[in-house]
Amino acid sequence: MTHEYLLQKYGTTLTFQQASNEIGLHWQTIREMCVRGDIRAIKAGRRWILTTKALAEYLDGTSQKSEIATVPRGRGQYKRIV
């Protein structure tokens, strides 16, 4: 039910601002939740891709925390991959 509503309202992806309007939290909080893996999202370069399906799963309580992998980038530096 939630996924169909969000899909009709926003399409397949949405911004942190649109997600914050639906949830009622600040957009930076939504971003931090994506970084932590509470809401599944993909980081493509400098941009985050948040799908309506991932937000609906979070709202319905069916999402599982995604695993975060670290990839070595050079001398003691690691890149987090969500």
* The pLDDT of residue 69: 53
Rounded to two decimals, the pTM is: 0.69
* The pLDDT of residue 5: 87
Helix %, strand %, coil % of the chain (to 5)? 45, 25, 30
DSSP 8-state code for residue 40: -
Residue-wise pLDDT tens digits, 11-41: 899 999 999 998 999 999 999 999 998 999 9
Residue-wise pLDDT tens digits, 43-53: 888 899 999 99
